[in-house]
Amino acid sequence: MKPVAPGPKPAAPQGVKPPGTAAPGAPAAPRPTQPGQAAQPGVKPVAPGPKPAAPQGVKPVAPGPKPAAPQGVKPAAKPAQTVLAPTKAETVAERGKRKLGQVLIDLGFIDEDQLWELLEEAKQQGKQIGQAVVDRGLINSEQLLQALSEQHGLKLANLSETKPTPEAMAIVPETMANIYKILPLAFKDRVLTIVVSDPANATAADDLRNLLSLNEVQVQLASPEAMQEAQAKAYNTTKEESVIDVIKELETSGQWQGGGREASIDLESALEMADSAPVRKLINMIFLMGIRDRASDIHFEPFEEEYRVRMKADGVLYELVPPPRQYATAISSRIKVMSNLDITERRLPQDGRIELNVGGNQVDMRVSVLPTLFGESIVIRILDRTAVKLELDKIGMAPEILEPFKEVIEKPNGIILVTGPTGSGKTTTLYSALSYLNRVEDKIITTEDPVEYEIEGLVQCPINHEIGLTFASALRAILRQDPDRILVGEIRDLETAQIAVQASLTGHTVFSTLHTNDAPSTITRMRDMGLEPFLITATVEAVLAQRLVRTICQNCREEFRPSAEMLIELNLTPEQVEGKPFFFGKGCDKCNNTGYKGRMGLHELIIVDDDIRDAISGSLSTDDLRAVCEKKGMISLRESGMRAIHRGKTTIDEVVRETVLESN
Ligand SMILES: [Zn+2]
């Protein structure tokens, strides 16, 4: 039972809400204040719990029955051997491991009474037990390291005497070492020895074994300081190998000079090439660059004369140096092997995924393969679940939007819509809203296509069109599961809209998205779908339109005076911007000379009140509806952009590109 205030579910109006009852800005039904506010819902990290100093999820280095990637065996259609990150199942076997506290007692560093005190202290101060015991001066950091090595069965590395070998550094490039937070120590007979400073990072061993096609990866432990020092020394003297170097290697390798185009390449040699060191290295490097630069997707595109690789970061596509055209099949085969797809199938589209475990974070890559005229076009969508902080306060909403938005999403029923084109950050906003509302006494169910973030405490149901599980059918089933709040990935049709309305009328809050350009047109769009205006006024509580614009690089930002032409683009006169500052980024190393770094949202929020309800019932046009909303204080996307420009956050170009001037 939920500890909800008196009576059953509050304000679940059967039938239609008469226009005019809900006072404008009426506060949501009072929420019970719960003692100790349930644990803040976090995005699910791979290792359970927050970044641990004494993590549980560490894999024993012991050989185990892991399928050692067989070397020398021709990988004829045997994708299974390269399946990445079989991590989840293994952690189960780790449950029996001693807790760090117990190890400290067994080593005689502390006694049981001290442990209880330390546990209490660690909990109160949000520290790891290991840190707490060092802070108290009961042990030094070396003794902590000793305890951790004992707990996780990891050998201690002696970095003052053992230096990374050139072979080890050659196989693990600096970027890879940095991203995985490891130091390569030795490499012999296809066995790599690496050092980590956080036992949680031992999970990198699996990825590395697969990425580098190794027989085994052994893990040792060292202090963060020792590791950093050794790493700085080691890589300082070697120039990092770049994508260009690898491509040169491919061009001159001579292994496969003759290859012209698809037709002349038989599968066998393509597979051989796919498994060759330079191809593997190139793909690993591209993937790691994508992860490092927080790219959202990577595109491999074969054309008649060239093979193009592009990467999208901050919403903009960048082209990388193109690999030799004749390697297209080898590259796509390698990606298909990594994503566990059928490599012999080259005429039908396929979808797969690659999971990597990078620096203790799970990175999920969705792979889509499409046969084209000149070979397979591959798009990889990178879902780095840790890249986004899903906290409503931290997604860059201006306070004048954030406060009313927070208030309206607390309502016990109604429909909240977030709109904007693909890639406008709708999903992040909705998840942040749900995370904000994620409390023990509320049940939240989502249905999505695909599930983009896993959030603890939410029941998440992926859509599957192939078997007929659509938003509408999922939503019907969800309503039988007694949720309080529901997220429907998208309202695409009248059927889904009707069920959403029904859900709202029976006392649920429904969150969803619509593909419309701005907030007022969302209302008219629902009407055009065939939804009766009285059902819209009875249910829709708020519409938030959103765009993402690139933010100016803070390292090279400069103020400037816009020309008359630029002002005309913004439909402004020089008098209107008199004394108001404008900025741009000159370009520097920190921003790849683009002048931009990161992105921010522009927002337009309609809180539906009596006047707006009247306007909706009156079947006003989008423009008239917009006029009413603006009179009620709605800040338009363009206005939100202007504010961001003057605050030095973004540029005229970005705002002009992402927001249209509303007709007056
Ligand atoms: Zn810059």
Tens of pLDDT, residue by residue over 525-536, are 999 999 999 999
Name the more confident of 162 and 376.
376
Find the 660 Cα to ligand 1 centroid distance in Å. Answer: 27
State mean pLDDT over 311-318. Answer: 82
Instruction: For residue 533, say if its preceding peptide bond is cis, omega within 30 degrees of 0.
Output: no
Query: What's the gap in Å between 551 CA and the centre of ligand 1?
Result: 10
For 230-248, what is the mean pLDDT? 72
Dist. CA 580 → ligand 1 center (Å): 22
Span from the CA of 240 to the centroid of ligand 1 (angstroms): 23
What is the predicted pLDDT for the residue at 267? 65
C-beta neighbour count of 74 within 10 angstroms? 11
Percent of the chain with pLDDT over 90: 31
Q: How far does the centroid of ligand 1 lie from the alpha carbon of residue 562, in Å?
A: 20
Q: What is the mean pLDDT of residues 460-466?
A: 84
Instruction: Place 254 in a pLDDT band, splitting at 50, 70 and 90.
Output: low
pLDDT of residue 83: 35
User: With pLDDT > 70 as the criterion, what percentage of the chain qualifies?
Assistant: 80
620 φ/ψ sector (left φ>0, alpha ψ -120 to 50, else beta):
beta
Give the Cα separation of 34 and 437 in Å (integer): 13
Least confident of 159-163, 186-190, 490-494: 159-163
Of the two residues 53 and 148, the one the predictor is more confident about is 148
Distance 384 CA to ligand 1 centre (A): 24
CA 293 to ligand 1 center in whole angstroms:
15
589 Cα: distance to centroid of ligand 1 (angstroms) = 6
At 211, is the pLDDT very low, low, confident or very high (cuts 50, 70, 90)? confident
Query: How far apart (Å, rounded) are the C-alpha atoms in residues 417 and 396?
Result: 18
More confident residue, 66 or 154: 154
CA of 583 to the centre of ligand 1 (A): 12
Strands (E), 280-409: 295-302, 307-313, 316-319, 350-358, 361-372, 375-384
Local confidence band at 263 (pLDDT 50, 70, 90 cut-offs)? very low
Higher pLDDT among residues 602 and 78, named by residue? 602
How many angstroms does the Cα of residue 595 sit away from the middle of ligand 1?
5
> Which stretch of DSSP H or E encloses residue 540?
strand 540-552
Expressed in angstroms and rounded, the spacing between residue 594 Cα and the centre of ligand 1 is 7
Alpha helices in 483-591 (DSSP H): 494-505, 519-529, 533-539, 564-569
Q: Highest-confidence range of 58-62, 325-329, 495-499, 594-598, by mean pLDDT?
A: 495-499
Cα–ligand 1 centroid distance for 592 (angstroms): 7
Match 């790691």 to its residue by tokens. Answer: 288
- CA of 299 relative to ligand 1 center, distance in Å: 25
Kind plus residue range of the DSSP H or E element containing 459: strand 459-462
60 confidence band (pLDDT: 50, 70, 90): very low
Radius of gyration of the chain (CA): 28
Dist. CA 237 → ligand 1 center (Å):
27
Q: 18 pLDDT exceeds 80?
A: no
Ligand 1 geometric centre to CA of 297 (Å): 22
Question: Is the pLDDT score of 62 beyond 90?
Answer: no
Nearest to 415 by CA among 507, 303, 304, 518: 507
Q: Report the C-alpha gap between 55 and 39 in whole angstroms.
A: 19
283 CA to middle of ligand 1, Å? 28
For the ranges 466-470, 516-520, 555-559, the lowest mean pLDDT is seen at 466-470
Q: How far is the CA of 584 from the centre of ligand 1 (A)?
A: 10
The pLDDT, as a whole number, for residue 512 is: 96
3-state secondary structure of 136: coil
For the chain, give the mean pLDDT.
79
* Whether the Cβ atoms of residue 260 and residue 218 lie closer than 8 Å to each other: no
> Could you identify the residue written with the tokens 């980590």?
196
Q: What are the residues whose beta carbon lies below 5 Å from ligand 1 (ion)?
A: 553, 555-556, 588, 590-591
CA angle 91, 123, 103 (to 5 degrees): 55
pLDDT at 260 over 60: no
pLDDT at 66 over 70: no
What per-residue confidence (pLDDT) applies to 240? 57
Q: How far is the CA of 179 from the centre of ligand 1 (A)?
A: 22
Q: How far is the CA of 597 from the centre of ligand 1 (A)?
A: 7
Q: Is the peptide bond preceding residue 450 cis, with omega within 30 degrees of 0?
A: yes
Q: Is the pTM of this model over 0.75?
A: no
Token code pair at residue 641: 């952009």
CA–centroid distance, 552 to ligand 1, in Å, is: 8
| Mean pLDDT for the stretch of residues 67-95 | 37
Each residue's pLDDT tens digit, 406-457: 999 999 999 999 999 888 888 889 989 998 898 888 899 998 887 777 777 8
Spatial distance between the Cα atoms of 479 and 499, rounded to a whole number of angstroms: 9
Dihedral (CA of 567, 399, 416, 312) sign: positive
Whether 20 shows a pLDDT value over 90: the answer reads no
pLDDT score recorded for residue 511: 96
pLDDT band at 70 (very low <50, low <70, confident <90, very high): very low
Ligand 1 centroid to residue 645 C-alpha, Å: 17
Is pLDDT at 135 greater than 50 in this prediction?
yes
User: How far is the C-alpha of 19 from the C-alpha of 224, rounded, in Å?
Assistant: 63
State in Å: Cα 586 to ligand 1 middle.
6
Could you count the other beta carbons within 10 Å of the beta carbon of residue 35?
Answer: 7
Per-residue pLDDT, 278: 82
Q: pLDDT at residue 69 above 80? A: no
pLDDT at 276: 78
The H or E element spanning position 543 is: strand 540-552
Per-residue pLDDT band at 4 (split at 50, 70, 90): very low
Task: List beta partners, residue 184.
Answer: 194
Work out the pLDDT band at 241, boundaries 50, 70, 90. low
Determine the pLDDT at residue 661.
Answer: 63
Model confidence band, residue 386 (pLDDT cutoffs 50, 70, 90)? low
Sign of CA dihedral 606, 478, 351, 388: positive
Dist. CA 286 → ligand 1 center (Å): 23
Task: Give the CA angle between residues 318, 322, 331 to the nearest 5°.
Answer: 110
